[in-house]
A and B are shown apart, each in its own frame.
Chain A
Amino acid sequence: MDEPEEQDKAVIEQLRTALAADATPARVTEAAKAALTWRRIDAELAELLSDSVLDVEPALARGGAVVRSVSFSAGETIIELEVHPDGERRTLLGQLSPVAQRTIVIQHTDSSASVSARSDELGRFRITLEGGGTVRLRIADDQAGPAVETAWIPI
């Protein structure tokens, strides 16, 4: 009878051989290589502050539905988002603080087309997307100062 260590080696070898069939798919590696094109060039990063989907106990909205809320910050600027799914469609309700009227562009990793909206005099905005995916918001300052881009989030 072999020593346990030798037997472990045999089992590891067997698993390794079997798992070789599950190497990273080429398209996943290609997509990762293409991700560098999303590097921020002329914008400040708004970091992910919180994402309720990672909370242990998600907040309950009226009626008991769970609403996902996500927030980002870049210096003084805070961007709060609620994600409301409706089948494939996603409606984003947002709030900029300090209150500001800005152009907000949603960028989507799967498509070059971007959707935009403008925040109102209370800093609120609403954007509807036809499908989910991985997105970020770019908030352009109409006057001086750099644009802000949020971290990417899957929605």
Chain B
Amino acid sequence: MAVIDAVRPAGPAPKPRGKGDVLLEIRGLRIEGQSDEKWTEIVKGVDLTLRRGEVLGLIGESGAGKSTIGLAAMAYARPGCRISAGTIMFDGKDLAQADDVEKRRVWGAKIAYVAQSAAASFNPAHRLIEQYAEMPLIHGLTAPEECRREAVDLYRRLRLPEPETIGFRYPHQVSGGQLQRAMTAMAMSCRPDLIVFDEPTTALDVTTQIEVLAAIKDIVRQFDTAAIYITHDLAVVAQMADRIMVLRYGEVVEEAPTRQMLASPQQAYTKSLWAVRSLRKDESRGDDMLLRVDHVDAGYGGGLMVLKDVSIAVPRGRTVAVVGESGSGKSTLARVITGLLPPLKGEVIYDGKPLPPALKHRSKDLLRRMQMIYQMPDTALNPRRRVHDILGRPLTHQLGLRGAERQRRIRELLEMIEMDERFLDRLPSELSGGQKQRICIARSLAVNPDLIICDEVTSALDQIVAEEILKLLLRLQRELKVSYLYITHDLATVKAIADEIVVMYQGRVVQKGGKTEVLTPPHHDYTEKLLSSVPEMDPDWLDGVLARRRVPA
């Protein structure tokens, strides 16, 4: 535990070098991606200049080519992609023309990469410190002993708990946030000139994200490393970057220093990005309760209790948001309501009548009235079935619609989610993330339900798409008077969509009430921590929050 400024460093002195020199200069970069045996251009002539010690933020919606450009800064193209034109001058050398041997000499040593999912990027069979040491040893930079000392030093600077010993754990023995910091340490191991951060905090929840952000920001400053920070979260990029570059469809829309960009965006597209965060819904309460969960205890085998005495109520035609960090029991609550996990105690009352606890005892009509939308649209849609069949099946199965009547309803549903019939024959893999989620929404709406349980439906999507999905949900609620039980860890979404809020922590409800009531102080301690962890657009926000509270190790 340390206040952030106290860590500011003695440590190994950064290599002497001219600050402000151009480190990376990309000119006319074009990258093509292969789909259906055809090459399509996905990055269309991007110029980018990065000076030593500077942090450049790349933002844009998914499919904008952010990650592709980030990787291209290392002259790497993912399988199925190729760099078709342009120069990538790194430290005076054109990497685009370099052969593999030359590139390998630069990778790891001079340019490092931090991936989005640390869990998937670490080798589960090796200890953290062995993986840390791999690069410096391969490049012959340090002796093994010295390398270990440096690792411990970096772990300490990144505020990992037990820095002396944490390196000897395996990746599955540390938490997601710790793993992400361990990966940052790994990227720092050769003291590179440039680190590419590819959405390093997107997979983390807000309370963990703030720790990782603070650690990354600090370490980059300490070593005066240049960085390319890729994210779709504007508030995050505002904290991290000196300069922001906005991308769309593989082209640069706008580029400016962070403060200037935040204060006065020039292009219409950038302005729309900024406006996204202003979606608000007026609170409205209701007394006609559609769903009531009464003193429910639930758990999985082995006596592990996940929910303890949970009671919530969802009024007809309103939205109740269930908030909490991962592991707080939000998703388990959804499983209890849907009947996938019968509760150990208490009951669920639906429309005035107690629900049979197990799924197999519920009637088809009950199942029809309660629908669910999932977090990952990628796994929620059967990859082998076409949109037409995905939407058509519940119509036939639940409502008995066939032939022309079914066709008409499918078209009506597509219209409702602002898509059209050219999508009918697509497979889910031929849709973008947002389109997939729309199809999931349409599938749940197909059978005219009263209640839709939304499990983190926007957290796998980037902000602009997420915003569109939220708007769609709000519009559908107005038109169809459907109730939502909205499970999320993202408070910004809650502000946008909820009427009532339930805050959960370690399987208990710690606070509940109307939106304004919960969001206005005084808060419960945990609510306060959640609220203050949500990044804001102010570039001084992170430093401010950290100064106000001690960052937990």
Bind each other: no
Instruction: Please report B residues at the A interface, Cβ cutoff 8 Å.
Output: none
Instruction: Please report A residues at the B interface, Cβ cutoff 8 Å.
Output: none
